[in-house]
Amino acid sequence: KENWQRAKMTALGLPDFGPVQNNISYNATKGVTRGIHAEPWDKYISIASGEIFGAWVDLRPGDSFGQVYTTRLDPSRAIYVPRGVGNSFQA
């Protein structure tokens, strides 16, 4: 599965960013929750298998501070999370 391709992502309107780090989170138990966390870099989140319920909260100063977005992600969907937005999910 192709996870990320710069030309395709920028054509869709995503910012042109260079990955700083690649993480894999493995959750064998259904219901495992990863709490809200944010890093000082942009994130591109995709799912290798299964499904998660994700929640994101804007922690950046400004009018959008505190706004929450939730959705389910599976291998057919991914999400771009800008720096300063808190990320959490439940397997």
DSSP for residue 65: T
What pLDDT does residue 68 have? Answer: 98
What pLDDT does residue 53 have? Answer: 96
Let me know if residue 85 belongs to a domain. yes
Which residue segment(s) compose the domain that 59 sits in? Answer: 30-90
What pLDDT does residue 73 have? Answer: 95
Of 73 and 23, the one with more pLDDT: 73
List the Cα angle 13/26/44 in 5-degree steps: 10
Element (H, E) at 68: strand 68-73
Let me know if residue 19 belongs to a domain. no
Q: Once rounded to an integer, what is the mean pLDDT over residues 5-16?
A: 88
Instruction: Report pTM.
Output: 0.79
Number of domains in the chain: 1
Let me know if residue 6 belongs to a domain. no
What pLDDT does residue 57 have? Answer: 98
**Both tokens of residue 39?**
């890093």
68 phi, psi to nearest 5 deg: -120, 140
Let me know if residue 13 belongs to a domain. no
CB atoms within 10 A of CB 4: 13
